[in-house]
Amino acid sequence: MPSAKKSANSLIKLVQVPSWNDPRGNLFVFEKDLPPFEIKRVYYLTNTVENFSRGFHAHRDLQQIAVAVNGRCRMVLDDGTKREDVWLDSPSKAIYIDSMMWREMHDFSADCVLLVLASAEYDESDYIRNYDDFIAAAKG
């Protein structure tokens, strides 16, 4: 995965989104090997309710890239043994979320627009929505 930064024991895989900036504004691009999968679905969250968190699930197979194209939010990742968080607070900073990773999104700013690129179309059977079921599957 190009431009990914991850410390040796970290769950967080930050991705630097290539950008071009000039007096007209900023252009951010996902192409070639970024993301490290074929994009099958794109969605975004906006107008999130203040003090309301989202996510609270994992995917068996799905991979994702998430980026706050505006505003900020705090992303929490959990692999069943370790839990870490990171602020998504710049359109040049994305996070790669691998399969079998519990994710939660908290502390959305009022102007947050969270864009997500996904490796597959929506499939309810790929979701693990109960944390105890996730822990059992992660240890499995």
CATH code, 113 = 2.60.120.10
* CB neighbour list of residue 43: distance below 8 Å, 6 or more residues apart: 115, 116, 118
Residue 1: pLDDT band by 50, 70, 90 thresholds? Answer: very low
* pLDDT tens sequence across 24-78: 999 999 887 778 899 999 999 999 987 899 999 999 999 999 999 999 999 999 9
Task: Give phi and psi for 65, each to the nearest 5.
Answer: -120, 130
Q: Which of 41, 54, 57, 72 is catalytic?
A: 57
Strand 127-128 relative to strand 41-45, pairing:
unpaired
**How far apart (Å, rounded) are the C-alpha atoms in residues 132 and 56?**
12
Contact between 114 and 45 under an 8 Å Cβ cutoff? The reply is yes
Give catalytic status of residue 59 as yes or no.
no
Share of the chain above pLDDT 70, in %: 94
Look at residue 33 in the predicted model and tell me its pLDDT. Answer: 79
Range of the domain at 134: 4-139
**The total number of structural domains that make up the chain:** 1
Residue 2: pLDDT band by 50, 70, 90 thresholds? Answer: very low
